[in-house]
Structure 1
Amino acid sequence: MKKNRDVKLEKNIYAAGWLLLLVGIILLAVKRIFPADFALPPCVFHKWTGYYCPGCGGTRAVKALLRGDVIGSFFYHPVVLYGAVLYGWYMLSHTVEYLSKGRLRISIPYTEKYLYGAVFIILIQWILKNGVKIIWGIDLI
């Protein structure tokens, strides 16, 4: 049985997507005006255990993607690239549909499958990075 699309939810996600873009642009503009590098505190999980947490590499992946280093971003944390592609696809398809006033019905529907995909990617990369560290003693990030 096919589930009906939640149009209100999709519109809210679309609006949140524009807000996210606006905040990102403002933050990048502020960083260009006031060039200062900041350091995040070390990962508590990594500090206590010596192993990578499921989110390790996420900040580096975002920075790499903003520099245009797609391969580096994927290497640091593939879920960042996955999220960026989904974000772009969702926003572009919904924008085209809204601008065409529904004549071009190309927008991708929101579905929890995308979230499950992200969880799967996070778990796989976490297992692989720690596996390489445990088996071969190689720190990947």
Structure 2
Amino acid sequence: MHQPHDHGSVLEHRPGRVRWLGTPFGILAAVTGAFAYVGTVDPNEPGHYPVCPLLQLTGVLCPGCGGLRSAHAFITGDLGGALSANAIATVGYVLFAGVWALWLVRAWRGQPLRIALAPAWWWGVGAVLLVFTVVRNLPFGSALAP
């Protein structure tokens, strides 16, 4: 006996689509939760978050110092405050959003996210972080300090 063909949902026609989309949405949920927490619990108020160990032991600002204050300012809509607290982290939030969007599109198409950067790019990123760290710890670079 021939039964009518049920076309079902779009998700059923592409095997594994739910599996492919699960990871990017899981990461988005985790990042959203973290940003929601930092947006709610102000890192500018003492006692909520641990102090950077490098800063506490040496007095030197690491590239991540001010990142929580930057995230708090970013999530509350203060882009200037976010850049002032940690410019590198703020750029990182925007880059993360772009890579996540690319990941989602590729997952929807059933393709893996593969971003292969040449070693020169990684060295460049390391150099930028090193220069940022050194400059923000010098008197003339105090504008980059949180």
Common fold, TM-score beyond 0.5?
A: yes
- Tell me which amino acid in the other structure corresponds to 1:140: A
**Counterpart contact for 2:82–2:90, Cα < 8 Å:** yes
Taking the aligned partners of 1:20 and 1:125, their CA distance within structure 2 comes to: 28
Mapped to 2, the partners of 1:79 and 1:139 lie a distance apart of 9
Q: What residue in structure 2 maps to residue 62 of structure 1?
A: 71
Query: Which structure: larger Rg?
Result: 2
Structure 2: how far apart are the matches of 1:78 and 1:23?
22
Question: What does 1:95-106 correspond to in 2, within 5 Å?
Answer: 95-97=104-106, 99=108, 101=109
5+ residue gaps, structure 1 = 1-10, 103-107
Paired with 1:28 and 1:137, the residues of 2 have a C-alpha distance of: 26
1:25 maps to what in 2? 32
1:139 and 1:51 map into 2 onto residues whose CA distance is 13
* CA distance in 1 between partners of 2:80 and 2:93 (Å): 13
- Correspondent of 2:83 among 74, 87, 100: 74
In structure 2, what is the Cα distance between the partners aligned to 1:30 and 1:57?
16
When the two chains are superposed, the root-mean-square deviation of aligned CA atoms in Å is 3.9
> Number of aligned pairs?
122
Q: Is the 2:87–2:144 Cα contact (8 Å) retained in structure 1?
A: no
Aligned to 1:128: 135
RCO greater where, 1 or 2, for CA within 8 Å and sep 6 or more? 2
Give the TM-score normalised by the residue count of structure 1.
0.59
- Kept in 1, the 8 Å contact 2:61–2:133? The answer is yes
Quick check: 1:85 aligned with 2:90?
no
Unmatched 5+ stretches in structure 2:
1-18
Letter paired with 1:120: A
Residue type of the alignment partner of 2:130: L
Distance, in Å, in 1 between the alignment partners of 2:125 and 2:99 is 15
State, as a whole percentage, how many aligned pairs show the same letter. Answer: 22
Matched, 1:111 2:145: no
- Partner in structure 2 of residue 47 of structure 1: 56
Per-residue CA deviation, residues 25-54 of structure 1 (Å, 9 max, x unaligned), is 34566789xx66662222222222222123
Distance 1:79 1:42, change over 3 A: same
